Chain A
Amino acid sequence: MFNETSIKEIEEIRTKYPNSRAALLPVLYVAQREFGWLSPEAYEAVADLLNVPKATARGVGTFYAMYKQKPMGRHLIQLCTNVSCMILGAEKLVDFLKSKYGIEPGGMSPDGRFSLVIMECIGACGTAPAMLVNDNFYENLDKKNLEEILGKYQ
């Protein structure tokens, strides 16, 4: 079940669309925020509220890369390794995250502090390599500033 704040937000979202099915993507975002990830309970809450089959909610949710199908660390690192970032050293940063923090791509650090997702271009190619930490962009990365930035996220 959603909490009251989320239900209110979802009601507001529904006014933007001619039918409730179209609200599925934004409502999955609300569920992800409230439940931390799209757990079976989260899918059930979404399906009940929008009156769509659970299989539909889950089918749609698992299609998109930004809906999380497992619990996440406290902070989400989304690092781009596509061509513009790769040729400017993004892979070294992936190795650094592995050796320094013990995070594998797609995995979580042992202390639950970070999750790492490898991204397919985040639109910061002119300032590559780049990443998002939670909702914040960080660009022109190297090992040194990466470590400093991550220090802010405890």
Chain B
Amino acid sequence: MEAALLKNIDNPNAADILEYKKIGGYKGLAKALEMEPQQIIDEVKRAGLRGRGGAGFPVAMKWTFASADPKFPKYLLCNADEGEPGTFKDRPLLEKNPHMLIEGMAISGHALKAEYGYIYLRGEYPAAKHILNKAIKQAYDNNLLGENILGKGITFHLAVHQGAGAYICGEETALIESLEGDKGQPRIKPPFPVNIGVFSKPTVVNNVETLSNLPYIMEIGGEAYAKIGTPDCPGPKIFCVSGHVEKPGVYELPMGTKLRDIIYTHCGGIKGGKKLKAVIPGGISTPVLPPDKIDCPMDFVNMPKHGSMLGSGAVIVMDESVCLVKVCHRALKFFEHESCGKCTPCREGTGWLRAILGRIEEGHGAEGDIDLLLSVAGNMMGKTFCPLGDGAACVVQNFIKHFRPEFEEHIKAKKCTVTG
């Protein structure tokens, strides 16, 4: 498959508007500006595009809700707060192909009749901030952003808003709070952002990769786009693979590519010919899989049938040398650190899970600790304000589900028997 999202990525000047135009850049926007907003939404519906941030929500449906709201102005927010551990798919798009995102946002802005857009960029990407600001300026200078875009009477303003190191701001209502100048704590839904979002106005929040698909959909049309990948989840997907593989990195492949093929065909298999022990397929919040469960098509619909989730498409591969109690403990340190503190099950639960896992890892685990972990996780699942708490509980439940003997061994031996 020819790369649509990562195209031109090896060109060192790819971020320049002239280079982007050379490969057909901004033709999708020109085409979109000839269309009525509803026609663009219909095209995206035909394409079957789903949000690439992790939830896989149908984009056209979200857009339709926001469009139907009579309040103006409307806002389009790009979620560039890529923070799910293991995920590094948006960074190349932001740093190498910023104009693809800007074009995608301008197209989406027209579809939504949104006059304002923000890119909520994580604080950990300082280079991307400079690159995006430069690209936005170029787009303004070329009348591709701002007022009366390409003389078609359409207005769309775009600016970068830099986050400051809070994973929770990847959750759309926390992102909105943060953009409004507050702590990034999620809001209760409903009302949904499509009706009452940033500055109390109808707001669509889409991921970087989602919005970067728009120029391609405009170029080839929704029908052709829908033929890529799987019928329920069409399109190209960027998978980012890290850990113990021969060739880690970002791979643009059709949605639904099997996890086994990603690891063994595209990434060259396990580093140094070692044995595979476990894979986290979609970022740290998604359920871990043992080696006999990796023949699953990587898309939003099929992964849950195989006991996990596509998440952000961040594949973390672990070989036999890895202690999974330690990985689980590290993951919970992360969730405890990133819990926003708003709701009790998450704030307290992540701390207790981390503490119990910590004592098991250090060799002070007690008999019954595994059941205690499951009890705490069970009291979090489905009871938290936002998915962060579910994610934390889910990690513990699935590590124990697939690798319980390793936890038991740790408690019995009072030390790690994997790494010594």
Contact = CB atoms under 8 A, between A and B. Distances in A.
B200 to A, nearest CB: 10
A25 B164 contact: yes
Interface string A1-36: 000000000000000101101111110110000000
Given A28-B164, A121-B167, A135-B126, 5 more contacts: A29-B164, A82-B330, A121-B86, A123-B91, A128-B248
B88 A67 contact: no
Interface stretch (B138-146, B181-189, B380-388): B181-189
A81 B244 CA distance: 16
Contact of B318 (A16, A21, A67, A87): A87
A42 to B, nearest CB: 14
Contacts of A66: 123-124, 164-165
B53 interface: no
13 contacts: A28-B164, A64-B166, A65-B164, A67-B165, A82-B85, A82-B284, A83-B243, A83-B330, A83-B331, A86-B326, A87-B322, A123-B82, A124-B88
A65 B86 CA distance: 19
Contacts of A22: 179-181, 199
B84 A121 contact: yes
B58 interface: no
A16 B124 CA distance: 21
A135 B330 contact: no
A145 interface: no
Contacts of B83: 120-121, 123
Contacts of B179: 22
Interface stretch (B62-70, B155-163, B256-264): B155-163
Interface in A105-127: 119-127
Given A83-B331, A86-B327, A120-B334, A126 B126 contact: no
Interface string B175-203: 00011111110000000000000010000
Interface string A55-99: 000011001111100000000001001111011100000000000
Q: Which of B180, B326, B331 has the most CB of A within 10 A?
A: B180
A45 interface: no
Nearest to A61: B164
Interface in B307-331: 314, 316, 318, 322, 326-327, 330-331
B280 A120 contact: no
Interface string B225-254: 000000000000000111110001110000
A101 to B, nearest CB: 22
Given A63-B184, A66-B123, A81-B330, A125 B164 contact: no
Contacts of A153: none
B162 A126 contact: no
Nearest to A20: B181
Contact of B183 (A60, A122, A124): A60
Interface string B260-285: 00000000000000000000100010
A127 B240 CA distance: 11
Contacts of B330: 81-83, 86
Interface in A123-149: 123-128, 132, 135, 137
Q: Which of B84, B90, B284 has the most CB of A within 10 A?
A: B284
B123 A83 contact: no
A119 to B, nearest CB: 7
A122 B123 CA distance: 9
Contacts of B334: 82, 120-121
Contacts of A88: 243
A29 B178 CA distance: 14
B166 A126 contact: no
B162 A26 contact: yes
B243 A84 contact: yes
B43 interface: no
Nearest to A124: B88
Contact of B316 (A63, A83, A127, A135): A83
Q: Which of B87, B241, B243, B322 has the most CB of A within 10 A?
A: B243
Given A28-B164, A137-B127, A21 B181 contact: yes
B288 to A, nearest CB: 10
A115 B284 CA distance: 28
Contact of B242 (A21, A25, A29, A126): A126
B338 interface: yes
B178 A65 contact: no
B182 to A, nearest CB: 6
Q: Which of B159, B179, B182 has the most CB of A within 10 A?
A: B182
B369 to A, nearest CB: 21
B247 to A, nearest CB: 9
A125 B242 contact: yes
Contacts of B352: none
Contacts of B403: none
Contacts of A19: 199
A51 B211 CA distance: 35
Nearest to A65: B165
Q: Which of A29, A63, A86, A123 has the most CB of B within 10 A?
A: A123
B167 to A, nearest CB: 6
B89 to A, nearest CB: 9
Contacts of B316: 83-84, 125
Nearest to B90: A123
